[in-house]
A and B are shown apart, each in its own frame.
Chain A
Amino acid sequence: MRLLLVEDDAMIGESVRKGMQQDGFAVDWVQDGRAAELALETNLYDTLLLDLGLPRKDGLEVLASLRRRGNPIPVLVLTARDAVADRVKGLDAGADDYLVKPFDLEELAARIRALLRRKSGRANPVVQLGNLILNPATREVSLHEKPISLSAREFALLHALVERPGAVLSRAQIEEKLYGWGQEVESNTIEVYIHSLRRKLGTQIIRNVRGVGYMVQKQT
């Protein structure tokens, strides 16, 4: 899952990026409104974490123009403005959730997961595909009710595939979901993760569509 973090404060931005990466998200971080718009135009993100008091272009303006263009990306507003009127304004401008500073990394991650869940039309926090069960909150995976231990990247890859069963994700799309800017991707890393996942889950679940990418089978 790839997040765009828009936060002008260097310390907060650095900490959120690090914390969310530890939770298995790929995070791109920009520090002003214009850079945020540029990033949104050139990349595909699963969630936008938006501070409101931004230099160059205010967060609310970024949000409003985003919605005007019909971009449905889930938006979580992070702000120090906690007055009810501010929250209402933020939500009315098109935010999906509102988190007031200071906030907790665990809560932030939980809210991001809730947004992603809603985006994919699920109410259940657990993702299930046949006998395979993924819990994004705890990053636990079980197959036939037997727990399976995965690394953060392996989990993120599996999660990305399981979120959209039947859809083929290209290697580039998977890389985008797994890595933020500035994180070097070795040329065969994705293959290494797929290989490792197949070793742990069996070869049937993840299928290779030759020349296109990877997918998991839709369960009927």
Chain B
Amino acid sequence: MNSIRRRLLLWLLSGLALAVAATGARIYTQTLEEANELFDYHLKQMAASLPNDSFDPLPPSKSGGPEIDDGLVVQIWDRNGLQLYFSHPTSKLPQRAELGFSTVETARGSWRVYSALEQNNIVQIAQPMSVRQNLAAGMALRALVPLLLLLPLLGILIWLTVGRGLRPLDQMASALIRRTPDSLDPLPQDGLPEEIRPLVLALNDLLVRLARALESQKAFVADAAHELRTPLTAVQLQIQLAERAKTEEERREAFAHLKQGQLRAAHLVQQLLTLAREEPGVAARPHSTVDLAEVMRLVVSEHTPVAADRTVDLGVSEEKQAIIPGDFEALRVMLGNLVDNAIRYTPRGGTVDVALQLRDGTAAIEVSDTGPGIPEADRERVFDRFYRRDINHASGSGLGLAIVKNIADRHQASIVLENRVPGPGLHASISFPLR
């Protein structure tokens, strides 16, 4: 019964039926009341108008005597209690009754009885209550019949009107069904009933957000495909050079280049995957509590061989304790990217310091290097996907800082990049709110 139309029909018709029944009951009681007054008056009049002297003691015969309508039963006694007249000798009405009106229950239903003292005789007139009840019921019924006949008509009317009222919903549904997954234009809002408008507004809002998400996904895929072309081109060219190699030495060199090209393509794919996983809107893995100092120690020890290889002095300069709610793996990737960048941009003999500081209710992981720093103008753009600043470091994926930003955002952390004073060098700081 989960249909607005049927539910409305049921409730409205039930309500109407109830109203009709109430009207019937009211008419019945009112009519009965009026009939009572009227008939009582009638009984009284009759008793008064009955001939008084012509009654002799009751003849043995049952025949004769005035026949009275409306089921009236008349008894007359004299002062001594002698029955002078009885219109229906078989009736089981009480033989004596108190004066005035009374209602008497008999085996044949209840009777209205009126007794009066008229010139030494007691006159009693009785009438079955059913006469009045039938009258009232008849009145009520006559009034109700047209209403009852109207009920099915009303039902049809309700059915049609509700259906008509709900038509915008149907139209909306069919408009939505006809859509292809990429047609995300807002639904038309003109001429909509105000009950449906909020739904359409909410839907349109969702469509706009969906379109935006889809757009950014498309852009991401296009960017990714475009970016993958570069390492793949390099690999293809390196393969051809390896094929052309004539001497063993040439071949060895060509394969060494090929291997670098392959590593670079693999690195880009890895970064793309990480970025896709950390993309806002992707269901975040459940946060547990993370010891930032542990993340820092792990990342620094992981990068020590690379740093040593480039004769960069990598180390931890300050280690406070900070436990934050977070995703250990993501935080490791984030700090790893920062440290990797720092090592990459730091000239030989330089220094990369990693520190964990506590200040102003935040825990800040900081990476400082002695590289060239980033010009003010570029500091926003470096977080863009595939943005590469320096051609001399083209082997990077251009995704490192985009990943850092996504992970920081997911942890409500803020990133600050600034050049060191005095330079040269870059100082990157990621502050996590502490509860």
Contact = CB atoms under 8 A, between A and B. Distances in A.
B237 interface: yes
Interface stretch (A6-14, A113-121, A182-190, A210-218): A6-14
Contacts of B234: 9, 11-12, 15
B259 to A, nearest CB: 11
Interface string A80-91: 110000000000
Given A19-B240, A19-B241, A12 B230 contact: yes
A101 B265 CA distance: 14
Interface in A1-26: 8-12, 14-16, 18-19, 22
B242 to A, nearest CB: 10
Q: Which residue among A8, A31, A80 has the maximum number of chain B CB atoms within 10 Å of its CB?
A: A80
Interface string A31-56: 11000000000000000000000010
A32 B226 CA distance: 19
A31 B240 CA distance: 22
Given A8-B394, A10-B394, A11-B264, A22 B230 contact: no
B240 A104 contact: yes
B240 A105 contact: yes
A11 B265 CA distance: 12
B230 A101 contact: yes
A102 interface: yes
Contact of B230 (A31, A32, A80): A80
A33 B244 CA distance: 31
B391 A31 contact: yes
A106 B229 CA distance: 18
Given A9-B394, A11-B257, A102-B232, A16 B237 contact: yes
B124 interface: no
B150 to A, nearest CB: 70
Interface in A175-211: none
A81 B238 CA distance: 21
A12 B233 contact: yes
Interface in B205-263: 226, 229-238, 240-241, 244, 257, 260-261
B391 A11 contact: no
B245 to A, nearest CB: 10
B226 A81 contact: yes
B236 A104 contact: yes
B257 A9 contact: no
B304 interface: no
B131 to A, nearest CB: 99
A102 B388 CA distance: 20
Given A80-B229, A102-B233, A11 B238 contact: yes
Interface residues of A, number: 22
A151 to B, nearest CB: 13
Nearest to B228: A80
A66 B241 CA distance: 32
Nearest to A81: B226
A15 B244 contact: no
A14 B233 CA distance: 12
B341 interface: no
Contacts of A102: 229, 232-233, 235-237
A217 B240 CA distance: 39
Given A11-B257, A15-B241, A31-B391, A80 B236 contact: no
B395 interface: yes
Q: Which residue among A15, A22, A31 has the maximum number of chain B CB atoms within 10 Å of its CB?
A: A15
Given A80-B226, A81-B226, A102-B232, A15 B237 contact: yes
A14 B258 CA distance: 12
Interface string B325-366: 000000000000000000000000000000000000000000
Nearest to B230: A9
A8 B394 CA distance: 8
Nearest to B236: A102
Contacts of A16: 237
A32 B391 CA distance: 8
B230 A15 contact: no
Interface string B190-205: 0000000000000000
Contacts of A12: 230, 233-234, 237
Contacts of A8: 391, 394
Contacts of B229: 80, 101-102
Given A15-B257, A22-B244, A80 B395 contact: no
A101 B230 CA distance: 7
Contacts of A31: 391
Contacts of A14: 257
A71 B264 CA distance: 37
Contacts of A103: 233, 236
B168 to A, nearest CB: 41
7 contacts: A8-B394, A9-B234, A9-B394, A10-B395, A15-B238, A19-B237, A22-B244
Interface of B: 226, 229-238, 240-241, 244, 257, 260-261, 264, 388, 390-391, 394-395
Interface of A: 8-12, 14-16, 18-19, 22, 31-32, 55, 80-81, 101-106
Given A10-B394, A19-B237, A55-B391, 19 more contacts: A9-B233, A10-B391, A11-B257, A11-B260, A11-B261, A11-B264, A12-B230, A22-B244, A31-B391, A55-B388, A80-B226, A80-B229, A80-B230, A101-B233, A102-B232, A102-B233, A103-B233, A103-B236, A105-B237
Q: Which 4 A-B pairs have the closest CB atoms?
A: A15-B237, A11-B234, A102-B233, A101-B233
